[in-house]
Structure 1
Amino acid sequence: MDAQVGDPGLTGNARSDERPIAIEARALVKRFDRTTAVDGVDLSVPQGSVYGILGPNGAGKTTTLRMLLGIIEPDSGYRRILGAERPHDVAHAIGYLPEERGLYPSMKATDAIAFLGALRGLPLQEGRRRAGELLERHGLGYAADRQIRQLSKGMAQQVQILGTIVHRPRLVIFDEPFSGLDALNQGKLEAMMRGLAAEGTTVIFSTHVIAHAERLCDEVAIIAGGRVPFAGPVDEARDWIPAQVRLETRAQDGAWRSALPPDARRDGRFWHFTLPEGGIEPLLRALIAGEAGILSLSIERAGLHDAFVAIAGEAAARALKDEKPEEPHR
C-alpha cells in the first residue's frame, strides 16, 4: 500500500491548547519483510516542546523517527513536519542525531561541526565560526583543533550533538542521545534541550530510560510492539494510576472511619487508600467533624515508570529493565 500524500482531515495548525504543531502523524505503518515494525503510530508534537518517545529497544522508536524524517517511507499513513508534507522540503530546518554515531576520524572538531551544518545548508565559514562559539560555550574549546580520533567517545558524541544544532534548526530530533554520555554530560545535554525549547525550538528524542523522559518532557509517546497506547502530557500518563493517600490520625477509632474509602487499609499508625474521585476536601471535612485528629496526610501520584507499566504492560516494562545500561566513556 502506498503512503498517503495528504489527509484533508488534518490541518496541522493547532490543538486544544492552541499551540502550533511541529509534527503531525497519523496511522504510520512500516513493514520489513513479514515483520511489522510500526503499526499505526499517531503523534502530535507541539511547537517549542520537549517531546519524548519512550519504549524498549526494538519497540519501533528509530523506525518511527526515520519515517518522520523521510529517511524511509511509510507503507501507509500520513505525516506533516513543520507544515510540509514532504520532510525533505524542510530538511534545512531540522537537526538530526542518529542512534548510530559517525564522524570522520581525521576531521578536527571545529570542521566536523561545520561539515554537519553544511549538510543542512550552512556556509562552511559561518559553520566554523559558530562551531568555535558552541565549543567554548559547552566547555570544549580546548578540543577545537583536535581530530575526532583524539577525542574520547563521549567527547566525540558531544561534538556530533553540537553539529546537530549548529545551523540553528527549528526542529531537533535526537535518537537515544544519552547513550555513551556520563552523568555530568547527560545533565549538560538535558540543560541544552531545555534551552532549545525555551528559544522556541521543538525537541523530540527517543529513549529507553524513563528518568530522562520524566525530568525533561512536556509530553511523551509510549511505544511498545510498534504501537502507541498513549501519547500526551506526562501528567496525563501518570493519571492512569490513581493517586494514593497516606493518612495518620490521633484517634484510633470513631464514626469518622465510615468516611474512609472502601479500599482503605491500615498499616500501623497509617491508613492507605486511593484518592477519592471527589477529591480530598470532603473527606477532610468528615475527619475534622469526627475529631479524628489528623497528624499527617500526603497524596502521592504515580511516577512515569509505574504509568509506563500500567499503559504498556509488564512485558514492555521488563524489556526496559533488562536492557544493559550504558557505561560512561572516559
Structure 2
Amino acid sequence: MLQIEQLNKSYGSKQVLFDINLTVEDGTILGLIGKNGSGKTTLFHSILNFVNFQGQIKLDDHPISVKDYDQIGYLPEERSLIQKLTVFDQIKYLANLHGLKNSEVKAQLPLWLEKLQVKGSANDKIKSLSKGNQQKVQLIATLIHNPKLVILDEPFSGLDPVNVDVMKKVILDLKKSGATVIFSDHNMANVEQLCDSVAMINQGKLAINGKVNEVRESFGLTRLFVRTDKKLEELASLPGVEQVELTASGSYRLLLQDESFGEEIFKLLSGGQYLRTFDQEPPTLEEIFKMEAGGDNHE
C-alpha cells in the first residue's frame, strides 16, 4: 500500500505541490490526471525520492528508501533506451540493477516479448525496433523484476489501438497479482476503463480523489441518452433540459439542469410505453476534467 500524507514540494520560491494526501491500496489501480504542468510528474518523482519534498510518503507503512527500489517499477514519460544495445543487453543491464541474475533474465525475457507481442527478438538492436516496440521493451524493463509498486507515466503515448489493448491487459494482470499501480494519462476513457480510483491534480492541488464511479456520480446524473421519434426542438423544450444534441448512434444526448428532472422526462417521453433507450448517466471523466480544469462544462 502506498500512502502520501501532506506532500508539499517547491522549486526555489515556487511551490508546485500543495498538501497532497493519497492512499493507493494493494491490488488496485489509481489514474492520475491533470493538465500539462499540473504537478503529476513531480508527484511521481517525489514518490521515487528523486527530489526533496516536505511530508511523508510510505510503502507498506515505512518511508521509501533505496532499499525499496527493487520492489518498484517506473516507466518515465521520456523513454531512455540505449539504441546500440540489443534488447537482451538492455533488459539485462536494468534488471541486474534490481537484483535479477542473467539466467533469470534469459528465462523470462522471451515470455515477456511474447506477452507484449514485441515485433523483434532478444538479439535485435534497440535502434532496429519501431518506436512502439521500443516502448514495449521499456515496459518489460519496468516489470521484469516483478515490482509491488508500479508507476507508469503516460504508458499509452504513441501506441496504436491494438497495442494499447495489449498494454492494458498487462496493467490489469499487475492488479490481479496484487501490485499497487499508478498511471497518468490524458485519455480519460483509459482511466475509466482500467482504474479503481482517480486523482486529479490541478495547479498543484488535489482537486479530485476517489473511486471512479463515486467521483462521476458526485456530479449528478445530468446526462440523459434517449432514442425517440420526437424532434430535437421538442426535446429541448422538456423541463430541466439545458442542451440537446444528436449523437452519431442516432440517439439524443440531453444535458439536464439537475438529475431530478429525469423521472418527469421519462414519464413525458414514454407515456407508459416502451422506450428503446433511456439512460441517465453522470458526466464522463473527460467532462469532469474540463469542468475542474476550467473548460466548458457543456462540452
Q: How far apart are the structure 2 equivalents of 1:246 and 1:208?
A: 25
1:99 paired residue among 57, 74, 77? 77
Helix, strand or coil: the match of 1:314?
Answer: coil
> Can you give the 5+ residue segments of structure 1 that lack an aligned partner in the other structure?
1-21, 251-260, 322-330
Matched, 1:37 2:16: yes
Contact 1:117–1:167 at 8 Å: present in 2 too? yes
Does the CA-based 8 Å contact 1:115-1:127 persist in structure 2?
no
**Number of paired residues?**
279
Aligned amino acid, residue 276 of structure 1: S
1:313 aligns with 2:294: yes
Q: Which residue of 1 aligns with 2:131?
A: 153
Distance 1:108 1:65 in 2: 29
Q: Compute the RMSD of aligned alpha carbons.
A: 3.1
1:263 and 1:105 mapped to 2: Cα distance? Answer: 59
Identity of aligned residues (%): 31
What residue is the counterpart of 2:29 in the other structure?
50
Per the alignment, residue 176 of structure 1 pairs with 154
User: Which residue identity is paired with 1:52?
Assistant: G
Q: TM-score, normalised by structure 2?
A: 0.82
Larger radius of gyration: 1
Q: Secondary structure at the match of 2:215?
A: helix
2:211 aligns with one of 224, 233, 236: 233
Counterpart of 1:188, as a letter, is: V
Which of 91, 98, 101 is matched with 1:113 structurally? 91
1:126-275 equivalence runs, <5 A:
126-140=104-118, 142-244=120-222, 245=224, 263=240, 273=256, 274-275=258-259
Asked if 1:87 is matched to 2:71, the reply is: no
* One-letter amino acid of the counterpart of residue 47, structure 2: L
Distance 1:82 1:34 in 2: 32
2:32 aligned partner, one-letter code: I
CA contact (8 A) 1:248 1:295 kept: no
- Name the aligned partner's letter for residue 58 of structure 2: R
Q: Secondary structure at the match of 1:56?
A: coil
- Within the candidate set 35, 52, 55, 1:73 is matched to 52
TM (normalized to structure 1)?
0.75
Residues 143/55 of structure 1: CA separation in 2 closer, same or farther (3 Å cut): same
Kept in 2: contact 1:61–1:223 (CA 8 A): yes
Deviations 1:175-219 (A, max 9, x none): 111122222212211111011111211211112222221221111
**1:165 deviation in Å?**
0.5
| Alignment partner, residue 11 of structure 1 | none
Distance (whole Å) between structure 2 residues aligned to residue 113 and residue 30 of structure 1 = 33
Distance 2:136 2:61 in 1: 30
Residue 169 (structure 1) shift: 0.9
